[in-house]
Amino acid sequence: MNMRKLYIIFVIAFIACSGKPDPKNVVFDFLEAVMVSDSLGIVNTFDVDAYVLSHLMEMSPEDSALAIIEQRQKTIQSLLGDGDTRSRWLRQQILVNEAFVADTLAEVEVSFIDQPSGHMVYTRMQLKRQPDDTWKIIFFR
């Protein structure tokens, strides 16, 4: 194989491997981090401040600053160890479906199925593109 062909193969391989994760892969990584109680994995895939802000009602700046700190801790705790969200997700079958991307926002369809009852909750996790061209989850149920 001549050097030119080898160089072209190397460049193609480099470009293919250097791509940033797409929103669907970030959702998979987030769910895996929650399942194994990996706090670093959760922080790398989840914008907890954006999530908390989306759940707060309008309030004074002083009250909202305190609420954000309190809710940030509660949210992360619910995703780790024996937290409510993690405990619930561990009992469910989770299906990650289609991703929809529109510029800097994305939504990924996720279904949570309680196997004993057959009850299914369908939702969309929302993600936002970060300045470094990665994605972080900003909303889920």
Tell me, yes or no, whether 60 lies in a domain.
yes
**pLDDT at residue 63, rounded to an integer:** 66
- In terms of pTM, does the model score above 0.85? no
* 13 pLDDT more than 60: no
Dihedral sign for Cα atoms in the order 26, 29, 35, 40: negative
* 15 pLDDT more than 50: no
Round to whole Å and give the CA distance between 79 and 88.
10
Kindly report the CATH number assigned to the domain that includes residue 131: 3.10.450.50
Tell me, yes or no, whether 93 lies in a domain.
yes
Question: What are the tens digits of pLDDT across the range 41-96?
Answer: 999 999 999 998 887 765 566 666 777 888 899 999 999 999 999 999 999 999 99
Tell me, yes or no, whether 8 lies in a domain.
no
In 3-state terms, what secondary structure has residue 59? coil
Question: What are the tens digits of pLDDT across the range 91-119?
Answer: 999 999 999 999 999 999 999 999 889 89
Tell me, yes or no, whether 10 lies in a domain.
no
Domain with 90, as residue range(s), is 21-139
Domain count, the chain: 1
Tell me, yes or no, whether 91 lies in a domain.
yes
**pLDDT at residue 61, rounded to an integer:** 63
